[in-house]
Every structure is written in structure tokens, then in C-alpha cells.
Structure 1
Amino acid sequence: MASVTSSTTLISSSTRAFPAKSSSSLPSPSLSFLRTISSPSSSASLRSAFAQRSSLSSSSRRSFAVKAQTDDLPLVGNKAPDFEAEAVFDQEFIKVKLSEYIGKKYVILFFYPLDFTFVCPTEITAFSDRYAEFEKLNTEVLGVSVDSVVNVTKSISKSFGVLIHDQGIALRGLFIIDKEGVIQHSTINNLGIGRSVDETMRTLQYIQENPDEVCPAGWKPGEKSMKPDPKLSKEYFSAI
């Protein structure tokens, strides 16, 4: 597939290709693809979630607000819950086991409600377009949805605290997992809020470049970091 320039992993039960760019509609002729993980549901579930919330309060304008229910959230600083699932990568099925990346790669694990709806395709495309940059940072990108016939994915979404139980779909959770398998960063958006690949990249770069220091607000690659010490931190503050 000569036209494919980069790939991200989507864990799923059926082969899906998500072209990020096509020569007929965008300047670049390159294509990018993701690998996905999925489980039973349909686009009707997402529409139902929005409709139900909308009917609760038409004046509140909070139709995209839902709540995941879980007793044990995976906390930052702890080992990520392990899983093994079938994935689609470059239109081929592969097996993905999260713990197999330990000692080898960082992992960006992002959950999204359904493949072919609203915000989801924009996020899939955005991560796919930047996959080569993540590769250079020795990082794998895994996308997880819950809209196919593989039940395993709901357990994955549940174990990461992003499953909306009554709808059977996931909130937009994103986790950065280091090479020791520890969650270093997590963010969970409600259904209507897409995530920033730039912010994900920025956070990943800081985690990799400054493991023994702390990240000042608004830090960008190449800027000074801060030492977590009352005296040594003065070096940072004196420079700003």
C-alpha cells in the first residue's frame, strides 16, 4: 500500500480504514490509518445518549454531558490495567497486549465513543496524521471504541474508568503510559469535546525529556523546566 505513510493502532472487531487525507479533497495525497479496539453498540447508542440528556433540560444546553460509573479508577502514578485484544492495523488484524510494550515503548491510549460519528472521525484523523511524530518519540498510539461485536472492549473501557454503563459507550479518555507501564497522564472529556493532539504531544515530550523535574504551566519543548526543590526552583523563577 504505497500511498500509506503512517499508521496508528485501532483495536476493533472489523476492518476499518480511516483516510486522514485524500488527493481529491485535500492538498496532500498521503493516507494515514489507525488501529482500533471495539465492542457491541451502535451509533444509535450515541444519539440516544445525546437525546436523553437533551430531554432532561432543554435550557441547560448540556446534552453532551454524561457520567461514567466505576468504583476503581486507574490513578495516575499506578500501573495501567493490562488487556489483550484484537486490533486492526493497516487493514490487517493483529493481537495487542498492553503489557508487551513495557520496557519497549510509551503508549498513548485513547478512548472514543463510536467510529463514524461527529467528533470521533476528527480525532482519529488527527492522531493518524501525526503518527510519524509519535513514532519518532518511540510511542505507540492505540485507539479504543465500543461499537462492534467484540465484548472485550467494554471491559477495557470499564477498567480505565471511561465506560458509560447505561449507554455502552466510552467517554473521551486519554492516557499516557510510560515504558514501565505506569500511567503518567490522563484526561477524560465528555462526549462533545474533542482532544488536542498538540497537547498530548507536549505532555508526552515533557514526560520523556524531564523525568526528574516538574513541568511549569504552559511549558513548551526547548523551554526551561523546574527542579522540585525550594532552593533549586529559584533558578527557574529568576529566568522568567
Structure 2
Amino acid sequence: MASSATSTPFISSIAAAAAAKSMVTPLCKTLTLPNSFSGTRKSIQSRVPRSISLTRGSHSAKSFVVKASSELPLVGNVAPDFEAEAVFDQEFIKVKLSEYIGKKYVVLFFYPLDFTFVCPTEITAFSDRHEEFEEMNTEVLGVSVDSVFSHLAWVQTDRKSGGLGDLKYPLISDVTKSISKSYGVLIPDQLSKNQTVLFILVVVLWILKLMQCITTRMSNAHSLLNMEWESDCLVHSFSGPMDPEVNTIPAGVALRGLFIIDKEGVIQHSTINNLAIGRSVDETKRTLQALQYVQENPDEVCPAGWKPGEKSMKPDPKLSKDYFAAL
């Protein structure tokens, strides 16, 4: 009996030690990215993908995270080249990025879809001020995953009806999504197996509810309202990428990425906004002006909020004191 009494604590201590050892095992060794994400399983410790949280309002219980492509062109690297169809001056043309090398700067911006809401405000804003970019020897290029036929229809739609009207720069069609993917702004399909099963269950339950209403001939207003509400929930929860600025699963469209590429074909600036946040033409122009200034004056740098005519600084511990002393 004594032997039994003393062995129990000993066994318990061994179990506790084993449990403690398992708890200190690095979590990153047990978690891997899904095959569908990057084609191979890799430890989260070796590569952490960018994540963009898209959360519905506080009144809704739905929230989700989408992961854009993990390979993002780093600033200072050569911009991925591409050749694609585009719409310009209501005609179909070919646009090849490398044709601008040695000639012009390029502002390349991506937007989710044609005939949406935030997108036309950005596209027309760049068009209305296109001459300012021309004066800076810069071409503006817009890109989405829509076809050239969709682009053309949108251009031919009046602005007061949500269209674009005539644009002063090309809208590129990225129907293969290869351009968006190469620039790291494409939102891939995030529908998991669990979500697929849940979707099927919801559809089955909704059909059963509909059949019950039909067989029991429930025609009162309350039942009809319930059916309408359930149908509305189903559509809004699983309607796919048709409305990327409000949907829960905006797969297959591009985030609002913007890249400034210099005349050597090198990415000098990049920014990526979430789907519901529009971009500023003023800030894009200011950044371009700063880029051109430091390229013309390689021994100087531009401080925060710098604009042409304002004081720059020397990237030197002693010489920079002149700038700080003038503040």
C-alpha cells in the first residue's frame, strides 16, 4: 500500500513534466500554411503572409481575414513586366509596361471591379488631373480583373450614372489575374472546406424550410417575412465577389494597390489600401514630386510632408543640423 501511495505522485509528476514540455514546444513548428495558399507547405516561422482584416460593423457577428499574395514586389526592385489589353479613347489597345522604361515614370494603380462605388471616384480623380502628371513626365495606368468589354461599357456610361465618361489614360484588363498576382494585391479564394460544408448545410436547411411552408400552406405575413429574411441572409453571406466593398468573401479581385515606378523600371513607392478606403491623388502627386527631386538631387533627402519649394535635408549627422535648426 505504501508503495502504491508513493508511486502515484511520481507518475503524476512525470505526466506534468511531459505536459509542460509539450507546452513550450514552439507553436510555429506545428502550424503550416494550407497548400492552396502558396503551393507548398511552409512554416509560419519562415514566412508570415500579409493579412488584411475586414470586419463587418459591431452590429454584425461576421468578421473575416483575407490573405493577399505573400510575394510582394519590394520597393527598390524591378517592377514585374506585363503586356495586356486595355481601353483608351474608347478603343482596344495593347499596353506593355517595359515600353515606358527609359521614357516615363508610371503610376500603376489597381482597383477591385468596374461599376462599383469607391472605384469611379479614384479613377475619375486621376483622369481629371492627368495633365499634372503629364507635366511630370508620368503615365497613369489603371488595372482591374474586368474584361475590356466591361471597361468599355463603363467608360461609355455617364458619370452622373456611376460611369467614368472619357478617360485620359488606359484602363488595363487583367482577366487572367496574373498582373494583380505578380504585384501581390490579388485576394485569393479563401473559401475553406468548413465554410463549404456550412454553406451546403445552410442551403439544405433553407430548402427544407421552404418545403415546410409550401406543404403546410403557411401563407400568413409572418412566415413570408421570415422566409425573406433567411433568403436575404443567405445571399449576403455567400454572394461571392460581386460586391467587393461589402462582401464577406471578396475573392478573386485586387486590393487598392498603387505603385510608382521610375524611368528605370524600378518600384520606388507602393501602398495598398483595404477595399473600402479610397486613395488620394494629392498624396500620390506629392510622393512622385519627392521621388523626382531626390533622383535629381541624390545628395539630399525629403523630410515628412515635403513639397516642392520647401527645404530638404542632407543625410549627414552634421549637415542635417541646418535643417533642424531652421524648424
Q: What is the alpha-carbon distance in structure 2 between the residues aligned to residue 58 and residue 137 of structure 1?
A: 41
Match of 2:323 among 229, 233, 236: 236
Q: Deviations over 1:133-152 (max 9, x none)?
A: 00000000000011227665
Q: What is the deviation of 1:176?
A: 0.3
Q: What is the alpha-carbon distance in structure 1 between the residues aligned to residue 284 and residue 292 of structure 2?
A: 12
* RMSD (CA atoms): 2.2
Report whether the alignment pairs 1:159 with 2:182. Answer: yes
- For residues 53-202 of structure 1, what are the structure 2 equivalents within 5 Å? 58-59=57-58, 67-148=66-147, 152-166=175-189, 167-202=251-286
Q: What is the deviation of 1:233?
A: 1.1
Mind listing any 5+ residue stretches in structure 1 that lack a counterpart?
Answer: 1-52
Q: What is the alpha-carbon distance in structure 2 between the residues aligned to residue 173 and residue 183 of structure 1?
A: 13
Q: Deviations over 1:203-223 (max 9, x none)?
A: 001111222222211112210
Aligned pair count reads: 186
Which residue type is aligned with residue 312 of structure 2?
Answer: S
Q: What is the alpha-carbon distance in structure 2 between the residues aligned to residue 156 and residue 74 of structure 1?
A: 12
Q: Deviations over 1:165-224 (max 9, x none)?
A: 121100000000000000000000000000000000000011112222222111122101
TM-score, structure 1 normalization: 0.72
Q: What is the alpha-carbon distance in structure 2 between the residues aligned to residue 218 and residue 64 of structure 1?
A: 35
Q: What is the deviation of 1:66?
A: 5.3
Q: What is the alpha-carbon distance in structure 2 between the residues aligned to residue 188 and residue 228 of structure 1?
A: 28
Which residue type is aligned with residue 114 of structure 1?
Answer: L
Q: What is the alpha-carbon distance in structure 2 between the residues aligned to residue 77 and residue 71 of structure 1?
A: 18
Deviates most, 229-238 or 176-185: 229-238
Q: What is the deviation of 1:63?
A: 7.9
Q: What is the deviation of 1:68?
A: 3.9
Aligned 8 A contact 2:105 2:138 in 1: yes
Q: What is the deviation of 1:226?
A: 1.5
Distance 1:73-1:229 versus aligned 2 partners, 3 A rule: same
Higher relative contact order (Cα pairs below 8 Å, separated by 6+ residues) = 1
Deviates most, 64-73 or 112-121: 64-73
Which residue type is aligned with residue 319 of structure 2?
Answer: L
Identity within the alignment, %: 79
Q: Which of the two has greater strand per residue?
A: 1
Distance 1:146-1:61 versus aligned 2 partners, 3 A rule: farther
Q: Deviations over 1:116-155 (max 9, x none)?
A: 1010000011000010000000000000011227665511
Q: Deviations over 1:59-100 (max 9, x none)?
A: 277989753432321000110011011111111121111111
Mind listing any 5+ residue stretches in structure 2 that lack a counterpart?
Answer: 1-53, 149-172, 190-250
Aligned 8 A contact 1:145 1:170 in 2: yes
Which stretches of structure 1, 4 residues or more, deviate above 4 A after TM superposition?
Answer: 60-66, 149-153
Q: Which of the two has greater helix per residue?
A: 2
Distance 1:151-1:101 versus aligned 2 partners, 3 A rule: closer
